[in-house]
Amino acid sequence: MKTVLAALALTASLGLIAAVGAAPGKPFKVASTLDGKTVLPHRIHWIALPTLAPSDIKRVEFAIDGRVAWVEHGTPYVYSNDEGPRRGYLVTSFLTPGKHRFAVKAYAVDGRTATDTVVARVLPNPDPPAQLAGTWTRVVDTADAPKPKSAGNPTETLTPSGKYSLTFDRRWIQDLFPCTTTPCRFVSKTGAGQGFVSDWTPGAKTFTVRGPVTFRIAHDNDRIAGWWCWMDGPDATYTWSVSGDTLTLAPVGGHDACGIRGFIWTGQWSRTG
C-alpha cells in the first residue's frame, strides 16, 4: 500500500513540475493608436502595438462592440490592411452616433493574450444632398478601361462590361458591379458581382471620395469587399449635377488619380432608387 501511495505521490509531483515548466511567459501588453481618445474622428489609422516581438505574435484581432471586424497576422497590425507605406483607415461612418467599444486583442504564439479597450464616441455623418442621395445606374463598356497591374488599376480590379450601380448615403458610396449569376454573387475570375463601399464627404456641387469603409472581415465569396486602387485612396473630388433623373459625374481637373474608378464613374447615370 505504501508503495502505491509513494508512486501516486511521485506521479503527482512530476505532473506539477511539468505544469510549472509548461506555464506561459510573463504577461505582455498591447496598446493602440486609439488610446486616450474619447471622441473619434471620422477617419483614423487604427494600429495595434503589442510589446512582444513580431515573431512572438500569432495574430491581432480588432473588435468593435464585441464583434471581430478585422484580423492581422503580421506587423504592422493595421485595421483595414496595409501594403508597404500604404495603410488603411478605421472610418466610423458605418457606426451609429454615440459611444462604442474598440478593442485590440493580441495572441502570442505560446497562448498568452493581451487586450486594450477604448470607449469613444462616434459623431454623426452628414446627410448627402437630397438630389444626389439614392441609387443610380449606368451601362459601361470596359474594353478600354485601365488594365489590371497598370498605374490606373494597381490592385488588379476586374471590371466586366455591363450595368453598374452607385448608391450615395450617409455611410458611404456603394458600387455594385454587373452580375452574371442569378441570384447575384461575386465571380472572382471576372469581377462580376463585385461591390465596394467608399468613404466620402458630400457637398452641394462636389464630393470627395477616399478609400474603403471597412466594416467587417471579408471572405473569398463576399460581394462587398475590397476597394478601388488602394486601401488608403487615392482621394478624388468629383463635380455632380442632376437634371431630371440623370446624374452627371466628372472628376475635378478631368482626372481621377485612381484611373479605373474614374473610368467607371465619369459620365451620366440614371436614377433607379
Q: Give residue-wise pLDDT tens across range 28-87.
A: 999 999 999 999 999 999 999 999 999 999 999 999 999 999 999 999 999 999 999 999
In percent, the amount of the chain with pLDDT more than 70 equals 91
Can you name the residues that pair with 68 across neighbouring β-strands? 63
Q: Spell 23-43 as b/e; 16+ CB within 10 A means b.
A: eeeeebebbbbbeeeeebebb
Provide the pLDDT confidence category of residue 10 given band limits of 50, 70 and 90.
very low
Can you name the residues that pair with 163 across neighbouring β-strands? 139
Of 11-15, 25-29, 178-182, the range with the lowest mean pLDDT is 11-15
- DSSP secondary structure string for all residues of 13-69: HHHHHHHHHT-------EEETTTT-SEE-SEE--EEEESS-GGGEEEEEEEETTEEE
pLDDT at 273: 83
- Residue ranges of the domains in the chain? 30-122, 134-271
Angle at 20 between CA 18 and CA 26, to 5 degrees: 140
pLDDT over threshold 50, residue 237: yes
Residue 28 has which C-alpha cell? 505582455
Q: Please classify residue 135 by burial: count the beta carbons closer than 10 Å to its beta carbon, then call 0-12 exposed, 13-18 middle and 19+ buried.
A: middle
pLDDT at 24: 62
Of 30-44, 207-221, 224-238, the range with the lowest mean pLDDT is 207-221
pLDDT at 16: 34
Q: Minimal CA–CA distance to 102: which of 140, 63, 69? A: 63
What mean pLDDT is predicted for residues 157-184?
A: 96
DSSP tag of 216 = S
Q: Is the model more confident about 143 or about 273?
A: 143
Report yes or no: 50 and 59 within 8 Å, Cβ to Cβ: no
Q: Which residue has the cell 504577461?
A: 27
Q: How far, in Å, CA of 251 to CA of 254, rounded?
A: 5
pLDDT at 5: 37
What mean pLDDT is predicted for residues 265-269?
A: 98
Provide the pLDDT confidence category of residue 219 given band limits of 50, 70 and 90.
confident
- Give the CA count within 13 Å in the CB-facing half-sphere of 18: 6
- What pTM was estimated for this model as a whole? 0.88
pLDDT at 218: 83
pLDDT at 221: 74
Q: Minimal CA–CA distance to 138: which of 105, 167, 99, 111? A: 167
**Cα-based distances in Å from 234 to 5, 41, 237, 258, 270:** 74, 19, 10, 6, 26
Residues with Cβ within 8 Å of residue 111, at least 6 apart in sequence: 24
Q: Positive or negative CA dihedral for 220, 158, 152, 261?
A: negative
The distance in angstroms from the start CA to the end CA of the chain is 85
CATH superfamily of 30-122: Immunoglobulins (2.60.40.10)
Q: Give residue-wise pLDDT tens across range 110-166.
A: 999 999 999 999 999 999 999 999 999 999 999 999 999 999 999 999 999 999 999
